[in-house]
Amino acid sequence: MSYFKPFLKLGSICIMLVFLTQCSNESIELSTFQQDMDGDNIVDENDNCLDISNPQQEDNDNDGLGDVCDDDDDNDGVNDAIDNCPLVANTDQADADADGIGDVCDDNNGLEPLAICENGFASVYPCDGYDLMSHISISELGGAGAEGNDSWGWTDPTTGKEYALIGTTTGSAFVDISTPTQPILLGTLPTATGNSLWRDIKVYNDHAFIVSEASNHGMQVFDLTRLRNVINPPETFTSDAHYTEFGSAHNIVINEDSGFAYAVGTTTFNGGPHFINIQNPTSPQAAGGFENESYSHDSQVVNYNGPDTDYTGSEILISSNAYKVVIVDVTDKENPATISTISYSNIGYTHQGWFTENMKYFLLGDEIDEINFGGNTRTIVFDLTDLDNPIFHMTYTGPTAAIDHNGYVVDDLFYQSNYTAGVRIIDITNIETNSISEVGFFDSYPPDNSTSFHGAWNVYPFFASGNIIISDIEGGLFIIHKSEF
């Protein structure tokens, strides 16, 4: 029998190989023994969660670890046990309506408007295409008997929160509008001296710069990052710096690209622009001025990159000087020079204007022409292709007789505060061909559209969120947003 033993062993091996070959169709591999520890029919070497059955192998954040085993399914650094939106990354855990569901996955996050614009009205306010998100009265912002005036905005570069800065006759109010339907008055900065109908605010490097026509007011500087830490609003703030090289001023203009402020309508330089270096915001330094073109009421200052290549890279000031428009090269603060001046027919009071985005056109508002000459709101457009030789381009006439006040351009839209007619939104896409038209409005002053000084003083349309703030003389702060049809 010993003679046959080798053949028996060989036969046994062959039988085993045949058996294993027959079973190979059942996906069993000799090297792994087909382990499936959690019994989910996914072999361990392919299973993204070995200990817990997960036959669907869900992996929301694609990190190779199945969701049932992953403590942070959206990979945002917040443990699922405390994450208010565990499947969508939201590191900041923002929850506007405090319902425990993060805004990024909350279908109802408290952002429903106070009043939707329907059938021509948002509550009692006439409108077209813009909803009323919320409203704070002027008495809450400035106290009993206060009136509203100018306004500006600030977006916190760290948190992304948006804030409305509202001027009143008694001071400046700071409002957190990051949840536009639930604004929070964080506090006020009282006027530096007396009350005044005129106050103006601009922003540079996370600081607000505030002037007023109140006697000896100077320029207040307020560090806006302090708004992050308000615990018991509203607070009464103090300024972080106070510039006193001029007394009263009608307005302040800032070129954020150069770090210079220009106070206009001051008690210095014959009312012309007063230059201030604000590159260190809490240590503003006088930097000269320009008196040759008399009183300036309002201005815009830019690092020029428009069509006139003679001035590319220059710092250009364009100013509304009561009875003319003045263009000045202010690159050299010690030697500013007039480039050109602009006149036009039926001058009432050359008030304020703004460049189009390409700096080819300038849209001007005359504040008194509707009073002096009648007719509906007039916006005058100049072609500034050649800064040395600006020419009249066209006139736009609005639908009401209300007085135009301040206007700003964002992309192809011109946002105009129009006193009793509220804020008008005008499409300037086809300005080249003399065709611009109104595409929406929100009237913050319902009583009428008369030619009088009531209603919307200013509009700030520059927030990335699309929220727009209106500062209204009688009404206070209105937050509006384009309707979502």
Q: What are the pLDDT digits (tens) for 258-293?
A: 999 999 999 999 999 999 999 999 999 999 999 999
Which pLDDT belongs to residue 25?
A: 47
d(CA 164, CA 360): 30
Q: How far apart are CA 328 and CA 316, in angstroms?
A: 6
Provide the pLDDT confidence category of residue 85 given band limits of 50, 70 and 90: confident
* pLDDT tens figures, 289-326: 999 998 999 999 999 999 999 999 999 999 999 999 99
The CA distance from 463 to 354, in Å, is 17
Domain boundaries defined on the chain:
1-30, 35-70, 121-482
- Residue 186's pLDDT is 98
SS3 270: helix
- Measured distance CA(320)–CA(352) in Å, rounded: 5
| Residue 373 token pair | 């000459």
Fold that domain 121-482 belongs to in CATH? Methylamine Dehydrogenase; Chain H (2.130.10)
What is the mean predicted confidence (pLDDT) over 392-402?
Answer: 98
C-alpha distances in Å from residue 36, one per residue of 20, 42, 50, 64: 19, 6, 8, 18
Count the Cβ atoms, other than its own, within 10 Å of residue 243: 21
103 pLDDT tier (thresholds 50, 70, 90): confident
Q: What is the per-residue pLDDT for 435?
A: 97
Question: Coil, strand, or helix at residue 427?
Answer: strand
Cα–Cα distance, 292 to 264 (Å, whole number): 13
Q: To the nearest 10°, the Cα dihedral for 459, 398, 376, 474?
A: -20
The Cα 179–Cα 133 span in angstroms is 9
